[in-house]
Amino acid sequence: MKSWETIARRLLQFRNADSNNYELLPVANEDDRRFRAARPTSPSSSPTRSIACTMVWNTPSYNNIREYEKKLPQHNKKLPSPEGENGMYLRFPEHLWGHGLNNVLQEHILMAHLAHLSKRSFVFEEYTWSKSPLPYTIYDFALRPSRIPMNAFISGPSVGGPIAPPRAVSASYYDSICPSERRVYIDSATAPDTLDGQELMNWWVDLLDNSDQTRNASCVEIGNSPPVFSWTLFSSEKLLTLWDSLKESPAVKEFAWSPLVTSAVARNLPLLTSAPPSSVSTARSDVIRGLVAIHLRRGDYRRHCPRLAEWNAVYQAYNKFPGLPDTFSPPSTEDKEADKNSDGVIDSEEKESYYLQHCWPEIDEIVEKLREVRKERPDLQRVFVLTNGWSWWVDSLREALVENLKEEERWVDVRSSMDVQLDREQEYVNAAIDMAIAERAEVFIGNGFSSLTSNIVMLRMAKDMDPRSVRFWCSYSF
């Protein structure tokens, strides 16, 4: 029955088809059903109008979080420089939008770091799905917020949290103190495209500090076409040259999940551990012992993974940190001379198969990978599945791990994103909730091509967690 309820619920909820996005679908719960219940209508009421009203009522506004941002202490024009009306600000008005949280978060963190290095207040934006003037957007026959404040997802200095001046400010505050005539615009196309991560960051800092155009300018804006930090950089080991600097940046060192996210994690901890609630800490830094979190992107990845083979794609940069045990080495012309066909080309089926093992693991491959990881860490007992897959598929995976193995190999429990109990505000930040759980898991197994996995790995490495606690798909037995 539960599976059918989940399927029906998913048919009524949006499913994002954007291959760059990662949106886990919401799960109803007892506390939330009062918001979902249909309301009685008069005989003259329009069914369409009733449905529309219910959808709007059921979609959160996050106005309480916007009010919190509005009242940040640095939002005060009378503060002395480098804040206040004569402060030094850096904004990226053409920031990424219409993509998933993790593509946006990657960019957000590097932009905040650049502002910090240039001793300017970072102007943080809202997470923007649509630039519609309306607060809600219809997508896949469902309503979703057009914009969500970043403080609904994360906390810390990059979204206005405590730090020595200059502190980050919201875009709305920036608009109030930086009229158009005070703004200096820098075209991102002026930056070289051959630099590694550290060189690129240094180039921008030097420009902001020493250019006649920007040195004394209060309100500086950098365009994003082409992107200041491109998708090719996030997939290149060139980005890792920046890590020593980025790791010490307030944007990473003092990164935190929002209260909305951490409260959801605390609420669902009993699903993830057998320890008594009184002994389980809710602190971000504390590991959830005995838990392995696994990221299994499904849906659009059925098409996307074979395309990765065609594009000769590589893992995202943070998934290539030195010391991570699972590497990605697809068949190449150098090491597969004997396997070339008569035209001297590597067998495309072999290549695609290799990519699929790393990007779209089947249930038997998942079971085997977990068996390998457990040999190294026999204390692992529970599995948490971060997924946008259908409930019947998750049920099949659970059955394979709990019921179909020998008794000594069985996992105590397998839970997934669909088991996490959320209120209506948490539903639209559920990818962050899954990430917060995975960040604290004793072991994390991810998809090396995914920005979600990449950000989790980055946060774990920033906390100096054991590199061997991060694994990627592909069992050595296959």
pLDDT in tens, 264-285: 999 999 999 876 655 555 555 6
pLDDT over 90 (residue 153): yes
The C-alpha angle with vertex 89 and arms to 87 and 95, in degrees rounded to 5, equals 160
Specify whether 324 is located in the same domain as 359.
yes
Q: Which of 37-46, 154-163, 362-371, 442-451 shows the lowest per-residue confidence on average (mean pLDDT)?
A: 37-46
Please check whether residue 296 lies inside any domain of the structure.
Answer: yes
pLDDT at site 347: 75
- Per-residue confidence band for 15, with pLDDT thresholds at 50, 70 and 90: very low
Please check whether residue 57 lies inside any domain of the structure.
Answer: no
Please check whether residue 389 lies inside any domain of the structure.
Answer: yes
Specify whether 290 is located in the same domain as 366.
yes
pLDDT over 80 (residue 30): no
Specify whether 438 is located in the same domain as 463.
yes
Contact 165, 83 (CB under 8 A): yes
Domain's final residue, options 253, 285, 318? 253
- Per-residue confidence band for 47, with pLDDT thresholds at 50, 70 and 90: very low
pLDDT at site 16: 39
- Per-residue confidence band for 56, with pLDDT thresholds at 50, 70 and 90: low
Q: Which amino acid is at 417?
A: S
Specify whether 367 is located in the same domain as 394.
yes
Query: What distance in Å separates the CA atoms of residue 291 and residue 273, rounded to the nearest whole number?
Result: 7
Alpha helices, DSSP H, located in 322-473: 348-359, 363-376, 391-402, 424-427, 430-440, 451-462
Is 306 strand, coil or helix? helix
Using CA of residue 105, residue 108, residue 113, residue 116, what is the dihedral sign? negative
pTM over 0.95: no
176-197 pLDDT, tens digit per residue, is 999 999 999 999 999 999 999 9
The larger pLDDT score, comparing residue 221 to residue 130, is at: 221
Q: Which of 21-30, 39-48, 95-104, 235-244 shows the lowest per-residue confidence on average (mean pLDDT)?
A: 21-30
Specify whether 164 is located in the same domain as 227.
yes
Domain's final residue, options 253, 280, 309? 253
Q: Region 430-444: what's the mean pLDDT? A: 98
> Whole domain around residue 75: which residue ranges?
63-253
Specify whether 160 is located in the same domain as 240.
yes
What burial letters (b/e) apply to 59-83, b meaning 16+ CB within 10 Å? Answer: bbebeebbeebeebebbeeebeebb
Order of all β-strands in the sheet with 470-472: 413-416, 382-387, 288-296, 441-446, 470-472
Specify whether 277 is located in the same domain as 206.
no
Percentage of residues of the chain with pLDDT beyond 90: 74
Domain's final residue, options 206, 234, 253? 253
- Per-residue confidence band for 57, with pLDDT thresholds at 50, 70 and 90: low
pLDDT at site 223: 96
Please check whether residue 292 lies inside any domain of the structure.
Answer: yes
Specify whether 216 is located in the same domain as 278.
no
Specify whether 107 is located in the same domain as 93.
yes
Closest CA relative to residue 84, chosen from 169, 150, 159: 169
Please check whether residue 24 lies inside any domain of the structure.
Answer: no
For 304-313, which contacts have Cβ atoms below 8 Å and span 24 or more sequence positions?
304/19, 304/359, 305/355, 305/356, 305/359, 305/360, 305/449, 306/352, 306/355, 306/356, 308/355, 308/359, 308/449, 309/348, 309/351, 309/352, 309/354, 309/355, 309/356, 313/235, 313/355, 313/449
Specify whether 246 is located in the same domain as 278.
no
* Backbone phi and psi for residue 169, each to the nearest 5 degrees, phi listed first: -130, 160
pLDDT at site 404: 83
Q: What is the mean pLDDT of the chain?
A: 86
- Per-residue confidence band for 355, with pLDDT thresholds at 50, 70 and 90: very high
Q: Which of 124-128, 345-349, 406-410 shows the lowest per-residue confidence on average (mean pLDDT)?
A: 345-349
The larger pLDDT score, comparing residue 345 to residue 258, is at: 258
* Backbone phi and psi for residue 445, each to the nearest 5 degrees, phi listed first: -115, 120
Closest CA relative to residue 216, chosen from 30, 86, 311, 409: 86
pLDDT over 60 (residue 117): yes
Contact 282, 261 (CB under 8 A): no
Query: What distance in Å separates the CA atoms of residue 383 and residue 414, rounded to the nearest whole number?
Result: 5
Would you give the distance in Å from CA 69 to the centre of its chain? 21
Specify whether 311 is located in the same domain as 236.
no
Please check whether residue 37 lies inside any domain of the structure.
Answer: no
Q: If you compute the radius of gyration of the chain from its CA atoms, what whole number of angstroms results?
A: 24
Token pair recorded at residue 236: 């290149």
Token pair recorded at residue 69: 């941002």
Domain count, the chain: 2
Specify whether 243 is located in the same domain as 266.
no
Q: Domain holding 265: CATH number?
A: 3.40.50.11350
Closest CA relative to residue 103, chosen from 449, 465, 462: 449
Query: What distance in Å separates the CA atoms of residue 153 and residue 78, rounded to the nearest whole number?
Result: 29
Please check whether residue 353 lies inside any domain of the structure.
Answer: yes
pLDDT over 90 (residue 79): yes
The larger pLDDT score, comparing residue 344 to residue 74, is at: 74
pLDDT at site 405: 86
319-348 pLDDT, tens digit per residue, is 999 999 999 988 764 444 544 554 545 678
Would you give the distance in Å from CA 178 to the centre of its chain? 31
Q: Which amino acid is at 308?
A: L
pLDDT over 60 (residue 413): yes
Please check whether residue 307 lies inside any domain of the structure.
Answer: yes
Percentage of residues of the chain with pLDDT beyond 70: 82
pLDDT at site 50: 44
